[in-house]
Amino acid sequence: MADKMITQDCASDVTNLHQVRHTSDVSPERWDHEEFPDTPPVVAQCPDHRAYKNFQCLDCGKCFAKKSVLVEHQRIHTGEKPFSCSDCGKCFTQRSNLAQHQRIHRGENPFVCLECGKCFSKKSNLLRHQRIHRGEKPFACSDCGKCFTSKSQLEVHQRIHTGEKPFTCMDCLKCFIQKSDLVRHQRVHSDSRVTLIPQISALEGVTIEQLLQPQIIAT
């Protein structure tokens, strides 16, 4: 607990630093510890000020310790995805996300579950999977109380309550709660098209008049 205490000197230095930010002529964009080596050492040394966050997103109000992290975050609001996969063209907001994605193409799954041996390309996917073994379901539905192992599962479930069906079949315009249901449904249309192919081939060269003639059924 002692290492979390803020001394009087520490608090004084932080107050002085805060006042300097508001009274100086320096632009807010330059208030980065990397650009300001004279920033009081308490900011870097005091455990409670290690996460001193000078850079705020004007869209959502979230704050960050480094300008570079703020720039990455703002891509969520702008929709900018400057990092493109050379294999499939999929784009990402961060270089690290692209690197994780490219493991799929290389077949790399470096994160192994020690319980069942299943492998994953991302550590976050491994951690999500391990909740199954531990029986953890931290995401609860506010409408019915049902719990899920991942946030994405909860979001899909909540569509039952909201009635949202974002996945639409382009053949018949039927809508579905999740993509897997749409894919399963589309097989019906695919099977129908396959069945019609030989029937259509048999009608090649047949005129409309011939089709309209009454059929004589042999007895």
Structure tokens at 130: 């391990």
Q: 74 in a domain, yes or no?
A: yes
At 211 the pLDDT is 58
Q: 43 in a domain, yes or no?
A: yes
State how far Cα 59 lies from the chain centre.
19
Q: 203 in a domain, yes or no?
A: no
Q: 207 in a domain, yes or no?
A: no
| Closest to 153 (Cα-Cα) out of 141, 168, 167 | 141
The verdict on 85 and 129 lying in the same domain is yes
> Which parts of the chain have pLDDT scores under 50?
1-18, 20-24, 26-49
Q: CA gyration radius for the chain? A: 30
CATH of the domain at 174: 3.30.160.60
Are the CB atoms for 85 and 101 separated by under 8 Å? yes
Are the CB atoms for 159 and 177 separated by under 8 Å? yes
Q: 159 in a domain, yes or no?
A: yes
State how far Cα 199 lies from the chain centre.
45
Parent domain of 68: 27-80
58 contact partners, CB below 8 Å, separation of at least 6: none
Q: 14 in a domain, yes or no?
A: no
Run of H or E residues at 111: strand 111-112
Query: Does the model's pTM come out above 0.85?
Result: no
Are the CB atoms for 164 and 171 separated by under 8 Å? no
Tokens 């073994």, located at residue: 133
* Residues 96, 79: Cα–Cα separation, whole Å: 17
The verdict on 121 and 143 lying in the same domain is no
Calculate the CA dihedral of residues 77, 80, 86, 87 and round it to 10 degrees: 40
DSSP SS3 for 59: coil
- How many structural domains comprise the chain? 3
Q: 18 in a domain, yes or no?
A: no
At 139 the pLDDT is 93
* Residues 214, 4: Cα–Cα separation, whole Å: 94
Structure tokens at 6: 């803020």
